[in-house]
Structure 1
């Protein structure tokens, strides 16, 4: 997998994960588990130079 393909995969996962998070109750264990992955992806994408301003819908 090329670096570009890996970044695309991470962006797609980030966007999809946010969709699930927006459907879940913020106090649920499921949401808390998704939040860990959300934060991990956010760090990976940000450190790779991806501007999340347009795609980050959680904004916590």
Structure 2
């Protein structure tokens, strides 16, 4: 399965074009992040989500 979105390996820009509009480098297909059932950082994401819900996004 091919994806439409592409990423420049040099500057990190996402685009639909075969060459980067910023630096002219050849773009690569953007791959999705790896899935892991162990989810090492899930605990921290849930804690942050609960904190943002309780105090708001601008809480420091």
TM over 0.5: no
More helix by share: 1
TM-score range, shorter chain: 0.3 to 0.5
Q: TM-score scaled by structure 2?
A: 0.34
Q: TM-score scaled by structure 1?
A: 0.34
